[in-house]
């Protein structure tokens, strides 16, 4: 039987919660936080606000 492994990571961001929320609510910022080796691409226009 395989052993379950849990990987956890925590990052402290020295910004106001409003600024952080603004960043994460914009889909186009997924390109910024996704590792390049995953070849992540948004294929539709980002018009949600």
Identify the band that residue 48 occupies on the pLDDT scale cut at 50, 70 and 90.
low
Give the tokens for residue 26.
Answer: 């914009």
Indicate if the pLDDT at residue 49 is higher than 60: no
Return the pLDDT at 47: 66
- Distance between CA atoms of residues 20 and 47, nearest Å: 19
Q: Is 48 left (phi over 0), alpha (psi -120 to 50) or beta?
A: beta
Domain that includes residue 28, residue range? 15-49
Task: Report yes or no on 3 lying in a domain.
Answer: no
Task: Report yes or no on 9 lying in a domain.
Answer: no
Task: Report yes or no on 1 lying in a domain.
Answer: no
| Tens digits of residue pLDDT in 2-46 | 899 999 989 899 999 999 999 988 888 888 889 899 998 888 887
């Amino acid at each position: 039987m395989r052993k379950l492994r849990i990987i956890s990571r925590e990052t402290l961001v020295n910004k106001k919660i409003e600024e952080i929320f603004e960043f994460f609510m914009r889909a186009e910022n997924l390109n910024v936080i996704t590792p390049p080796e995953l070849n992540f691409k948004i294929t539709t226009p980002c018009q949600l606000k």
